[in-house]
Amino acid sequence: MEYKAPSSIDEAVMLLAQANGKAHVLAGGTDLLVQIRAGFTKPTLVVDVKNILELRTISVADDGVCIGAAVTGAELGEHDAVKAAWPGLVEATELIGSTQIQGRASLGGNLCNASPAADTVPALVAASAICLIAGPNGQREAPVEQIVTGPGQTSLKNSEFVVQFQLPKKLPRSADAYLRFIPRTEMDIAVVGAGVNLTLDKKGICQQARVALGAVAPTVLLVEAGAKALIGSTLDDAALDKLRAAASAACNPIDDKRGTVEFRVDVAGVLAKRAVLIAKQRAEMN
């Protein structure tokens, strides 16, 4: 296995394009190294992207926030501007693993590892994040929800990788939130995850909403019916009940010992509702 640590996007693209055999991008390695050690994947080339500036930078501009794909959870958690604008995404990121894992784990890795239970993905989807993708044919953009196509599978072409996540400009009276359900309180993989992003008007009526669920289907679900239930309402009990029902209805979970189908479906509804309430409270304050 060869290890390369290029310092530019072009160099990384070239290395990946020229690789013969299996090549992997390495960010924090908290998924990849585990998989290599367990023998699940045997790459001939590993391209460490942590030396590429664009992937390690967070930039805040008028039209939104850009987060490098290899920025670590710890870095994101200490970034006041991002925390203020996207508290839900940051809380999702900070749920990953432990302090040690936080020092390494990245959004790019969380997304491209393509686990149905990845914590940041529902938050990214709810936030309408756009991926900037680099590849042999230059750079392109794609919404986050188009990246993962199934467990362990992405729509990225060979030698493509995610450079950064672009989050839209944050509107007044809007906020996001993420909640997950695990059997314990720490260090576990989501049985269900729910990300919500809301915009209210001055009267508290919901203008825009996005609801995304993790771990209840092969890929993260964008629950349009859930958003519909919220938009136009004051997020009253009736709207929340509709949202809860829509979220439950959207689920297509697996039945395993970590959670039966009924349990996941039920919890998904409650979780989405609670995430909405948190986002609402935040939105009312800004």
Residues of this chain that interact with ligand FAD (CB under 6 A) are: 24-32, 34, 49, 69, 95-97, 101, 104-106, 108-110, 112-113, 118-119, 156, 161-162, 189
Q: Which is nearer to another protein, 62 or 237 (CB)?
A: 237
Quick one: which of 157, 187, 234, 255 contacts another protein (CB under 8 A)?
187
Our finding on whether 183 is near another protein (CB under 8 A) is: yes
| Token pair for 52 | 């590429």
Which residue in the shown chain puts its C-beta closest to ligand FAD? 109
CB of 181 vs another protein, minimal distance in Å: 6
CB of 180 to another protein, least distance (A): 11
Q: How far apart are CA 32 and CA 239, in angstroms?
A: 42
Closer residue to ligand FAD, CB minimum distance, 33 or 238 = 33
> Does residue 227 interact with another protein by CB under 8 A?
no
Of 63, 185, 236, 237, the one binding another protein (CB under 8 A) is 185
Where in 123-182 is the site for another protein (CB under 8 A)? 181
Contact between 1 and another protein (CB under 8 A)?
no
Q: How far is the CB of 37 from another protein (least distance, A)?
A: 12
Could you say whether residue 260 binds another protein (CB under 8 A)? yes
Runs of H (alpha helix) within the chain: 9-18, 32-37, 53-56, 73-77, 80-85, 87-95, 99-102, 107-112, 120-126, 224-230, 237-250, 261-285
User: What is the DSSP track for 112-149?
Assistant: HTT-TT-SHHHHHHHTT-EEEEEETTEEEEEEGGGTEE
* Candidate list 4, 228, 242, 258; residue touching another protein; CB under 8 A: 258
Q: Is 263 a binder of another protein (CB under 8 A)?
A: yes
- Quick one: 232 exposed, middle or buried, by C-beta within 10 A (0-12, 13-18, 19+)? exposed
Shortest Å, Cβ 127 to ligand FAD: 16
Surface-to-core class of residue 157, CB atoms within 10 Å of its CB (0-12 exposed, 13-18 middle, 19+ buried): exposed
When CB distances are held under 5 to 8 angstroms depending on the partner's kind, the choice from ligand FAD, another protein, none that residue 183 binds is another protein
Contacts of 53 (CB under 8 A, 6+ apart): 7
Pairwise CA distance, residues 39 & 12, whole Å: 25
| Surface-to-core class of residue 137, CB atoms within 10 Å of its CB (0-12 exposed, 13-18 middle, 19+ buried) | exposed
Q: Whole-number minimum distance, CB 160 to ligand FAD, in Å?
A: 7
Measured CA to CA, the distance from residue 203 to residue 141 in angstroms comes to 35
Contact 192, 284 (CB under 8 A): no
Residue 148: CB atoms within 10 A of its CB come to 24
Compute the least distance from the CB of residue 237 to ligand FAD, in Å.
Answer: 31
Nearer to ligand FAD, 109 or 195 (CB): 109
205 contact, one of ligand FAD, another protein, none, CB 5-8 Å limit per kind:
none
Strand partners, 199: 174, 208
Residue ranges binding another protein (CB under 8 A) = 181, 183-189, 257-260, 263, 266-267, 270-271
